[in-house]
């Protein structure tokens, strides 16, 4: 864990419990665990680049990634070959795959789990993924597996730091930023 410099995550079954709600407009809504999201924002604020590499696609995923401080260029939606996207992410941020922790839960994630320096899965990942992973979290998808990993990595490097005086580095939709500024909340 001391060698990890970046994180990459699948979404469905990792940040979420795998359930999606199909809306009439075609968007898919997902429920994210706030502790998982706090960990990612903390990682980003402490200099760890993060990516989302998912087969899913939706406007809500774009907004969620931005709110976590993940740049649009590091959100890979409709990913068919997650290793290709993982390698692109590594090249973009200037790290080796051996310096990235990747979290996935299902068959399409196995190649990226194997290519990453630390392949991780939630406790409820499919059996093939649990066998391929270097680390199986004690927590299921959408219930703390992301927080578990990120917190352990950052603490192992003495970088689990939350500064309440500095605003989040998330890129929030304009209406949320305006509302936060209006209410005086600590958001950039």
Q: Is residue 111 part of a domain?
A: yes
Q: Is residue 23 part of a domain?
A: yes
Nearest-angstrom CA–CA distance, 127 and 44:
31
pLDDT given for residue 118 in this prediction = 98
The CATH number of residue 177's host domain is 3.40.50.1000
pLDDT given for residue 180 in this prediction = 58
Domain that residue 178 falls in: 6-183
Nearest-angstrom CA–CA distance, 158 and 154:
6
Name which of 104, 64, 65, 68 is nearest 83 in CA terms.
104
pLDDT tens for 14-73 read 999 988 888 898 888 888 999 999 999 999 999 999 999 999 988 888 989 998 999 999
Q: Is residue 38 part of a domain?
A: yes
pLDDT given for residue 175 in this prediction = 55
The residues near 59 (Cβ < 8 Å, ≥ 6 apart) are 27
Nearest-angstrom CA–CA distance, 143 and 36:
8
Q: Is residue 134 part of a domain?
A: yes
pLDDT tens for 173-185 read 555 555 556 555 5
Beta bridge partners of 8: 51, 102
pLDDT given for residue 179 in this prediction = 56
Q: Is residue 1 part of a domain?
A: no
- Average the pLDDT over each of 18-32, 88-102, 125-139, 165-179 and give the range with the smallest value: 165-179
Q: Is residue 188 part of a domain?
A: no
The residues near 180 (Cβ < 8 Å, ≥ 6 apart) are 172, 186, 187
Domains: count for the chain: 1
Nearest-angstrom CA–CA distance, 151 and 181:
29
Cβ pair 112, 8 in contact under 8 A: yes
């Amino acid at each position: 864990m001391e060698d990890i410099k970046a994180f990459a995550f699948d979404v469905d079954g990792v940040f979420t419990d795998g359930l999606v709600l199909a809306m009439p407009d075609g968007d898919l809504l997902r429920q994210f665990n706030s502790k998982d999201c706090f960990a990612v924002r903390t990682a980003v604020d402490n200099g760890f680049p993060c990516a989302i590499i998912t087969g899913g696609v939706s406007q809500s995923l774009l907004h969620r990634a931005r709110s976590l401080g993940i740049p649009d260029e590091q959100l890979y939606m409709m990913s068919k070959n997650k290793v290709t996207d993982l390698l692109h992410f590594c090249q973009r941020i200037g790290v080796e795959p051996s310096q990235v922790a990747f979290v996935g839960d299902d068959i399409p994630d196995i190649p990226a789990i194997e290519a990453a320096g630390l392949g991780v899965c939630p406790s409820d990942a499919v059996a093939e993924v649990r066998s391929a992973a270097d680390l199986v979290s004690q927590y299921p998808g959408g219930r703390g597996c992301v927080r578990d990993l990120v917190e352990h990595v950052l603490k192992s490097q003495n970088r689990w730091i939350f500064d309440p005086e500095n605003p989040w580095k998330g890129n929030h939709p304009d209406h949320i930023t305006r509302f936060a500024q209006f209410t005086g909340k600590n958001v950039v």
